[in-house]
Structure 1
Amino acid sequence: MDDLKLKGSWNELKGKVKQKWGELTDDDLTYAEGQEEELIGKLQKKTGQTREEVVNYLNSL
């Protein structure tokens, strides 16, 4: 996958995550870009969902 497709996929993922969890900011998602564990942790902290729930949602996208 080239960089442009990868960036497009990341932007699509960010949009879907923000739709589900509106309290997340662009800064939250930009900071976590490329850092999966930190992203999952931020999502857990902001949403109160379990790690498994967050991972399952992200995998469903």
Structure 2
Amino acid sequence: MNWDQIEGQWKQFTGKVQTEWGKLTDRDLDVIDGNRQQLVGRIQERYGVAKEDAERQVDRWLNRH
């Protein structure tokens, strides 16, 4: 699956995103609205990780779906 598919079906993926990153709030998910860079930024903020680490996490998650 590629990010364009995630973005197009964002509402269906929000539960899976929240399962993976439980610190993301419903408001965060609304702001992200399928935008990969927004997701990376919110993961950085909520988990206190570097951008590269957040990007790796998103890549791993994407490869599983």
TM-score by length of 2: 0.62
Structure 2 contact 10–34 (Cα < 8 Å) conserved? no
Return the offset for 1:37: 0.8
Unaligned 5+ segments in structure 2 are 1-7
| Structure 2 residue 24 is the aligned partner of structure 1 residue 46 | no
Return the offset for 1:48: 4.2
More relative contact order, 1 or 2 (CA 8 Å, 6+ apart): 2
**What are the residue-to-residue correspondences of 1:16-27 with 2, within 5 Å?**
16-27=16-27
Paired residue type of 1:47: Y
Return the offset for 1:26: 0.9
Hey, which bits of structure 1, 4+ residues long, moved more than 6 A? none
* CA RMSD of superposed structures (Å): 1.9
Return the offset for 1:11: 1.6
- Residue deviations 1:5-58, cap 9 Å, x none? x3xx21221110111222111110110114221211112322345121222213
1:57 paired residue number? 61
Unaligned 5+ segments in structure 1 are 1-5
Identity value in percent? 35
What number of residue pairs does the alignment pair up? 54
